[in-house]
Structure 1
């Protein structure tokens, strides 16, 4: 176990290093000028040049990246160009809101996805199964910003059941969590359906039926625990999808998380914040996959870590 964890951590560090390099290259090639954004449209060329020199943006790429990497190794994510605040302070201040939204989305997609997938598998090749799979396909295909706007219009504007935006109560959490969770619902329901159909065909399920066990007991004690194993790996992968979707959803719902912070930074070309949010998001993705690999053997002892 410890050897496996050490190897995975080393791989994770290399992945994060590669992500930091690729992101830095892309931001370096962006035609927008952060110095111009700071100085304002009416600033003279000399003022813009002075700001660029103060930020070190006039130096070669390898110098800028080397300086950033050196600071990063010391735990320094830099300072926001416009807010004049440490990036780590800005991110950690908004992290609780993002983690709450992520938790709500995971709960929403698991409850809906596993339930729909289980019902579809038990009602295989019936109109119920076909209807549920069509619903799953729609949730996978629909853009999240469209889903978010539709949910806002129906449940907040027309029905008035939930607030239009904001943060602080359970009611504020429901619509953004559903917006993110509906995408995962489609994937989980299809995965759960396929996995349960496969498990239902195994010999030990037929043996349980021959012993006279009830259908509910067979499903809950024999089918679901074995069918749910692929779902565990998907949860880790899902964290990456969440971090990409959270940028859009937090902007639509005015949710004060790191996604909204990233969107504001992109609009202002605030490179330190963009880099910081990207690396923190990458850390979540790597950690989610690692946890999924560790939890899988605990659920099924037949799985061995190598």
Structure 2
């Protein structure tokens, strides 16, 4: 176990290094000039050049990247070009809101997806099963931006059950979590249905049924724990989808998380913030997959970590 964790952490460090390198290259090639944006349109060429020199933007690519890596290893994400604040402090202030939204969305999609998948598997090939699978297909296909706008219009504007945007109460988190959870609900329900149907054909399930054990007890005590294994693996992968989709959802609902921070930074070409949010997101994805791999053996002891 310890050797496996150490190996995965080393792999994670290499992945994060690769992410930082690729992101830095892409931002380096962006035609927009951060120095010009900081100086303003009316600034002279000399002023812009002075700012570029102060920020180190006049240095060769490899030198800029090396300086960034050295600072990063010391826990320094850099300083925002426009907000004049440390990037680490900006992310730390926004991260709790994003984590809260992520946890709420995962709980939403797990409850809805597993419930729909189990019902569809139990009622296999019935009109209810087909209807639930159509709902799942729509959930997987619907863009999060469209889902968010529809939920806002129906539940916030028309019915006035929830606030249009903001942060701070349970009511504020319902619609953003549901928007993020709709996509996951579609995937989880389809995965849960397929996995449960497959498990129900196993010999030990047939043996339990042959001994006269009630069908519901067989499903929930024996079949469901084993059918849940693919769901555990998907949770780790899901963190990556949340980190990409959370930018849109936070912008729609005015949620003060790192997604909104990243969107503002992209509009202003604030490179240190973009790099910081990208690395934090990549770190969350890597750790999410690692945790999912570590949890799986506790659910099914037959799984061995190598």
Q: Normalization by structure 2: what TM-score?
A: 0.99
Which residue does the alignment assign to 1:9? 9
Deviation at 1:172, TM superposition (A): 0.2
1:242 Cα offset (Å) = 0.4
Counterpart for residue 258 of structure 1: 258
Hey, what does 1:93 align to over in structure 2?
93
Deviation at 1:214, TM superposition (A): 1.4
Residue pairs, 1:1-306, within 5 angstroms: 1-306=1-306
Shift of 1:211: 1.6
Cα distance in 2, alignment partners of residues 194 and 72 from structure 1: 44
Per-residue CA distance 1:163-197 (angstroms, 9 max, x = gap): 00000000000000000011111110010000000
Partner of 1:43, secondary structure, is coil
Moved more, 198-207 or 186-195: 198-207
Q: Tell which deviates more after alignment, 246-255 or 212-221.
A: 212-221
Secondary structure of the residue aligned to 1:42 is: coil
Residue by residue over 1:98-129, the C-alpha shift from the partner in whole angstroms, topping out at 9 and shown as x without a partner, is 01000000000000000111111111111111
> Which string of whole-angstrom CA distances, capped at 9 and with x for unpartnered residues, describes residues 223-263 of structure 1?
11010011101000000000001011000000000000000
Q: Matched residues in 2 for 1:39 and 1:203: separation?
A: 72
- Structure 2: distance between partners of 1:41 and 1:63: 28
Q: What is the Cα-based RMSD across aligned positions, in Å? A: 0.7
Offset, 1:207:
1.4
Secondary structure of 2:165's match? Answer: coil
Once residues 14 and 243 of structure 1 are traced to their aligned partners in structure 2, the CA distance between those partners, rounded to angstroms, is 20
C-alpha distance in 2 between matches for 1:219 and 1:27 = 52
Q: Secondary structure at the match of 2:84?
A: coil
Distance 2:224 2:18 in 1: 39
Residues in 2 aligned to 1:57 and 1:185: alpha-carbon distance in whole angstroms: 45
After superposition, the C-alpha distances for 1:113-168 in whole angstroms (9 at most, x for unaligned) are 00111111111111111111111111111111110000000000000000000000
- Structure 1 position 40, deviation (Å): 1.2
Work out the CA distance in 2 between the residues paired with 1:63 and 1:237.
34
Partners in 1 of 2:137 and 2:45 — Cα distance? 53
List gaps (5 residues or longer) in structure 2: none
Q: Which moved more, 1:198-207 or 1:23-32?
A: 198-207
Structure 1 gap segments, 5+ residues each: none
Instruction: Give the secondary-structure state (helix, strand or coil) at the position aligned to 1:219.
Output: helix
How far apart are 1:47 and its partner, in Å?
1.3
Query: Per-residue deviation at 1:41?
Result: 1.6
**SS of structure 1 residue aligned to 2:226:** helix
Deviation of 1:284 after TM superposition, in Å, equals 0.3
* In 1: Cα distance, 2:133 partner to 2:250 partner: 28
TM score, norm. by length of structure 1: 0.99
